[in-house]
Amino acid sequence: MSDLRDLYQEVILDHSKRPRNFRSMDDASHQASGYNPLCGDKVDIFLRCENGIVKDVSFQGSGCAISTASASMLTEYLRGMTIDEANATFASFHGMITGESNGLDPESLGKLAVFSGVGEFPARVKCATLAWHTLQSAMNSDAGEMVTTE
């Protein structure tokens, strides 16, 4: 039986109420938009990359606590990473949430491990992964095509 505390942990609630890096970015080198048609979650991810390093990450949008917290924590976590490291983090995060982690230790994701409980709430997985799918799209310069969770 899944405990709500597994989903709505202090850290997640904090990030949903006070999202970090919640702003648009005029000098973004990459950006993308994401949308969850089932519940109306919307997110825009902005990146400024220089020499293959993520210098700045921010987001805008509106959505549920899980999607907001996920986007907020993403922006903190990715700052200073290389693009390769960011891609690897996406794969790990996605694996952790969908349960396809092949023995990956959630602890290796540091703070992002708080989302490990989302897997117990299948209807909310797309909320947690929306920002990350949108990030992927931004990094791969699919800008112009709206990312959707469907």
Partner 1 sequence: MAGSPLTSSSKIRRVRWDVDAIRSDFPILSRKIYGKPLVYFDNAATTHKPQAVIDAITGFYSEYNSNIHRGVHFLSQQATQMYEDVRVQVKDFLGASRAEEIIFLRGTTEAINLVARSFVKPRLAEGDEIIVSGMEHHSGIVPYQMICQETGAKLLAIPVNDRGELDFNAYLALLGPRTKFVNIVHVSNALGTVNPVKAMTEAAHRVGAEVMIDGAQAAGHYPLDVRDLGCDFYAFSGHKVYGPTGIGALYGKYDLLDEMPPYQGGGEMILSVTFEDVVYNKVPNKFEAGTPNIAGVLGLGAALRYLTSLDREAALDHENELLRHATERVGEIDQLRIIGAARDKSSILGFVLDDIHPHDIGTILDQEGIAVRAGHHCAQPVMNRFQVPATVRASFALYNTKAEIDHLIDALFKVREVFS
Footprint of partner 1 (CB under 8 A): 1-2, 4, 7-8, 13, 17, 38-42, 62-66, 121, 123-124, 127
Residue whose CB is less far from partner 1, 69 or 78: 69
Residue whose CB is less far from partner 1, 4 or 26: 4
Residue whose CB is less far from partner 1, 7 or 86: 7
Smallest distance from the beta carbon of 112 to partner 1, in angstroms?
A: 20
Smallest distance from the beta carbon of 136 to partner 1, in angstroms?
A: 22
Read off the DSSP letter of residue 67.
Answer: H
Smallest distance from the beta carbon of 81 to partner 1, in angstroms?
A: 29
Give the contacts of 138 (CB within 8 A, at least 6 positions apart).
Answer: 30, 31, 32, 45, 46, 47
Residue whose CB is less far from partner 1, 125 or 135: 125
Read off the DSSP letter of residue 146.
Answer: P
Smallest distance from the beta carbon of 95 to partner 1, in angstroms?
A: 23
